[in-house]
Amino acid sequence: MRKKASEAKPGEKFETKTNVARYQPIYYAGASGDFNPIHIDSEFAKMVGLGRAILHGMCTMAFTARTHVDWAGGDPAALKKIKVRFSKPVYPDDEITTSAAVTSVEGSRVRTEFAAKNQDGVEVITRAWAEIELD
């Protein structure tokens, strides 16, 4: 059920955890058409200093977007804007925790600020915000 704007309060916090599948970069490459070898070839990723293949930034952002969509009641159309800063790479088998807080409610528009960390507490997305349109 879609959340009502009257139910959202500044200071309200919410979070989700997402486990990055081992083959997530390959799945995302197929869906997006982005076959950059840093995402699908661990040997190439090592060669350029990444250690191993990394997840696409846009896939990581999609995980944070889903956090907001789920909080809003499951309707993807509720998410109107999202902005993130990718600060560190995400790897297959990481667990990403997205933590968000409502910063303002103006009419039916809710603004949040959020960040995402990996299982080691390293921020992988920082200085991020979203706007959600609620009923």
State the DSSP string of 10-73. TT-EEEEEEEPPTTHHHHHHHHH----HHHH-HHHHHHTTSSS----HHHHHHHHHHHHHHHTT
Mapped onto helix, strand or coil, the DSSP state of residue 6 is helix
User: Which two three-digit tokens encode residue 128?
Assistant: 């991020």
The active-site residue, picked from 38, 39, 56, 94, is 39
Is 70 an annotated catalytic residue?
Answer: no
Is 57 an annotated catalytic residue?
Answer: yes
The active-site residue, picked from 11, 26, 33, 34, is 34
Is 107 an annotated catalytic residue?
Answer: no
8 Å CB contact between 129 and 93: no
The active-site residue, picked from 26, 57, 73, 135, is 57
The active-site residue, picked from 54, 96, 125, 132, is 54
Is 74 an annotated catalytic residue?
Answer: no
Mapped onto helix, strand or coil, the DSSP state of residue 80 is strand
Residues carrying an active site annotation: 34, 39, 54, 57
